[in-house]
Amino acid sequence: MVVGCGKAVDLQASYSDPDSTDTHTVRIDWGDGIVEPTIVDQGANTLSGSYIYAASGGFSGMVTVTDDGGGSGSQSDIFAVVFNKLFLPMLTR
């Protein structure tokens, strides 16, 4: 996924668990040293998060879902963060 530096990365995903009575927590490791919990919809088995990278580069992010029974699963993705620079033409007389 390619994103602009200083622009929000919006992440939405779903997960499954054979035990429908489990509750879940989700942590997102954004790959730049920031790991944070995120929003979980227990009824729909979905998660969402948003993050703004402060620097450009390649980052390996990971989402980890853990249930109250101790089971967990993870999925990773690569984020390529590019510096968006506005180029203005030089006007000469």
8 domain residue, yes or no: yes
Strand partners, 69: none
- Give CA–CA dist 70/25, Å, rounded: 10
Which residue range is the domain that position 6 belongs to? 2-82
Structure tokens at 43: 């009824």
Residue 88 domain-assigned (yes or no): no
Task: Note whether residue 40 is domain-resident.
Answer: yes
* pLDDT one digit per residue (tens) for the chain, 93 residues: 788 888 888 999 999 999 989 999 999 999 999 999 999 999 999 999 999 998 888 999 999 999 999 999 999 988 888 876 554 455 555
Q: Is residue 33 part of a domain?
A: yes
- What's the number of domains the chain is made of? 1
Does 90 reside within a domain?
no
Q: Looking at residue 30, which CATH number applies to its domain?
A: 2.60.40.10
Residue from 53, 27, 46, 54 nearest 38 by CA? 27
* Separation of alpha carbons 52 and 79, rounded Å: 12
> pTM for the whole thing?
0.82
